[in-house]
Amino acid sequence: MTTIVGLGWGSLIWSPRTLPVKGAWHEDGPFLPIEFSRQAADGRITLAITPGAPRIPVLWAELAVESLHDAVSELGYREGIPPEYWPAHVGLWQPGLSFAQEQADVIAAWGEERGFDGVVWTALPTGFKDARGTVPTLHDVLTYLRGLTGESLHKAEEYIRKAPAQTRTPYRTAIEEALGWTPS
């Protein structure tokens, strides 16, 4: 039997939508540098693998898929990533193959240790829409969040409040203190 898992640290956990998660999310995933460092298409500030961020344990769940290709497709569709961008924005690992995505070495060691046949994860770049690939400062993130109104404000607050409790990052602590957006 093939065991392919997906890694998550944000909305995949509480809203997998079409992602075929098999069973529960487990809290003992690899330690990755995760931070609230990406402006999403709908205006939220979301969690992303972030160079220089402290490492925290991410979550993982087995996926009900037949192949690693299926897992990449399912995650790509769930994340709204067009198929032509999957090679760059959907991370994947399987035994015996190496890939260049950020943190692939850490994920490979973790996957090997667990005996998994494959691992997929979201590998979207950090930054605001007009500055992809950069890491916004905490000041920039707080200024941006304070400027939101209406539905954009609601979605941003919901995302931060619903992020898994173990996703304790420096920016999250500062956002909670500055805006009162504590976990729900």
CB under 8 Å to 8, separation ≥6 — which residues? 25, 58, 59, 60, 61, 121, 122
pLDDT at 78: 98
CB under 8 Å to 120, separation ≥6 — which residues? 4, 5, 6, 7, 63, 68, 71, 72, 75, 90, 91, 92, 93
pLDDT at 97: 78
Separation CA 79–CA 73 (nearest Å) = 10
Separation CA 92–CA 47 (nearest Å) = 18
Q: What average pLDDT does the segment 172-176 reach?
A: 98
Separation CA 147–CA 4 (nearest Å) = 40
pLDDT in tens, 22-77: 999 999 999 999 999 999 999 999 999 999 999 999 999 999 999 999 999 999 99
Whether the CB-CB separation of 48 and 37 falls below 8 Å is answered with yes
Separation CA 54–CA 166 (nearest Å) = 13
Query: Could you tell me the pTM of the whole model?
Result: 0.95
pLDDT at 98: 64
Nearest to 5 by CA among 16, 21, 27: 21
Separation CA 24–CA 37 (nearest Å) = 26
pLDDT in tens, 99-152: 667 788 999 999 999 999 999 999 999 999 999 999 999 999 999 999 999 999
pLDDT at 96: 84
The amino acid sitting at 60 is W
Ordered DSSP codes for 106-129: HHHHHHHHHT-SEEEEE----B-G
